[in-house]
């Protein structure tokens, strides 16, 4: 249920509505838009007496949210959310590119990738220190040492970092280092981890599960929002279909669809979505043209020697060339970068 406050509502009126919602055992979520202030009352809606709420001072309307993803829906918040990452805003119209290696392998590897990423116009550095691998015998990432490398390169190059959290036990550690906590496709429905990530304030990059529907992605975002963290960026990274020529099938339609259903920013990962280096540039451009708020792209100084996902990583020259094209398409569709 959402409570829309009158333009003339005072701070005291707002406090009264919040108190009433809390007394019902529900959780108030406040969205202060330019036009109006809305308070979401989340929890067991049967507790709500609509007439009583309508009678409170400062209340203009009480409207049920029909979508199951309440706080993530455009019904709750019609204005798009821009997630702030160290001054860089994801979701404010500009195309934000995140780039870096799949996995952190060494200081030199991350530094070289970061310098190229920054020079080419990327705004965030990616790199996994904890890697979710299908095989328990595959390289699992450098762990804490990898986080240290990312933090050092952040200092030297000046790009914020996005890195994956694999377990609810690591949320505190990852949030100590990361500017954005990545929730990978395999963990999209790790609800206890989502709750824990929702209880801290670092921005989150929530990747779509490879077998998850759009609604399931939004419900996972809802877990984070419902716990108080509103800084969620969604990521389409391809879904598993019958097609075997690509690692996944990039659901480009998900971009405009999500943008219509939710106020949260949406980015696309053309690396995992395709699994093929030569498909990254065209799919990146398609994503920008379809309205994506950004891209997350795997790059490596020497992709053929990469310990993880080298065949879907661009080398540094290829990335710089792609960024020129991304800028052209961004401008063509009325965006900036």
Q: Which residues bind ligand PEP (CB under 6 A)?
A: 102, 128, 132, 184-186, 207, 237, 269, 272
Q: Residues 93, 99: contact at Cβ < 8 Å? A: no
**Closest listed residue to residue 216, CA positions, set 203, 226, 206:** 206
Cβ 328 to Mn ion shortest distance, Å: 27
Nearer to Mn ion, 251 or 309 (CB): 309
In the bound complex, what is the minimum distance in angstroms from residue 205's beta carbon to ligand PEP? 9
Nearer to ligand PEP, 24 or 296 (CB): 296
Which range, of 36-44, 95-103, 106-114, 133-141, touches Mn ion by CB under 5 A? 95-103
**What is residue 294's three-state secondary structure?**
strand
Given a contact cutoff of 8 angstroms between Cβ atoms, the answer to whether 180 and 124 are in contact is: yes
Q: Are 197 and 180 in contact (CB under 8 A)?
A: no
102 binding Mn ion? (CB under 5 A): yes
Q: Judge contact between 313 and 103, C-beta under 8 A.
A: no
Taking the least distance from each CB to ligand PEP, the nearer of 196 and 272 is 272
User: What's the Cα-to-Cα distance from 148 to each of 127, 144, 298, 323, rounded to whole Å?
Assistant: 12, 6, 20, 28
Q: CB 271 → Mn ion: shortest distance, Å? A: 6
CB of 243 to ligand PEP, least distance (A): 17
Contact 59, 6 (CB under 8 A): yes
Residue 309 contacts Mn ion per CB under 5 A = yes
CB nearer to ligand PEP: give 259 or 272.
272
As measured in angstroms, the least distance from the Cβ of 37 to ligand PEP is 36
75 makes contact, choosing from ligand PEP, Mn ion, none, with CB < 5 to 8 Å by partner type, with none
What phi-psi label fits residue 120: left (phi over 0), alpha (psi between -120 and 50 degrees) or beta? alpha
């Amino acid at each position: 249920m959402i409570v829309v406050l009158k333009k003339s509502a005072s701070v005291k009126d707002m406090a009264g509505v919040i108190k009433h919602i809390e007394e019902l055992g529900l959780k108030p979520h406040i969205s202060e838009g330019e036009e109006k202030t809305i308070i979401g009352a989340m929890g067991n809606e049967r507790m709500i007496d609509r007439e009583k709420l309508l009678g409170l001072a400062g209340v203009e309307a009480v409207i049920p949210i029909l979508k199951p993803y309440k706080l993530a829906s455009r019904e709750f918040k019609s204005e798009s959310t821009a997630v702030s990452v160290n001054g860089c805003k994801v979701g404010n119209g500009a195309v934000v590119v995140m780039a870096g290696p799949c996995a952190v392998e060494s200081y030199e590897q991350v530094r070289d990738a970061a310098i190229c990423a920054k020079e080419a116009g990327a705004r965030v550095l990616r790199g996994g220190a904890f890697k979710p691998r299908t095989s328990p015998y595959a390289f699992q990432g450098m762990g804490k040492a990898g986080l240290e490398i990312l933090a050092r390169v952040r200092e030297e190059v000046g790009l914020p970092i996005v890195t994956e959290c694999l377990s609810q036990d690591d949320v505190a550690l990852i949030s100590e280092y990361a500017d954005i906590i990545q929730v990978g496709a395999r963990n999209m429905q790790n609800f206890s981890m989502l709750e824990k990530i929702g209880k801290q304030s670092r921005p989150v990059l929530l990747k779509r599960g490879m077998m998850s529907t759009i609604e399931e992605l939004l419900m996972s975002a809802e877990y984070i929002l419902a716990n108080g963290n509103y800084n969620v960026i969604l990521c389409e990274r391809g879904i598993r279909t019958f097609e075997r020529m690509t690692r996944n099938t990039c659901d480009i339609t998900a971009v405009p669809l999500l943008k219509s259903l939710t106020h949260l920013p949406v980015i696309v990962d053309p690396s995992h979505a395709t699994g093929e280096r030569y498909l990254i540039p065209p799919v990146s451009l398609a994503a920008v043209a379809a309205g994506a708020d950004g891209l997350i792209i795997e790059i490596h100084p020497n992709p053929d020697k990469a310990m993880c996902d080298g065949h879907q990583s661009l080398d540094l020259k290829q990335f710089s060339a792609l960024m020129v094209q991304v800028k052209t398409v961004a401008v063509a569709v009325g965006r900036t970068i």
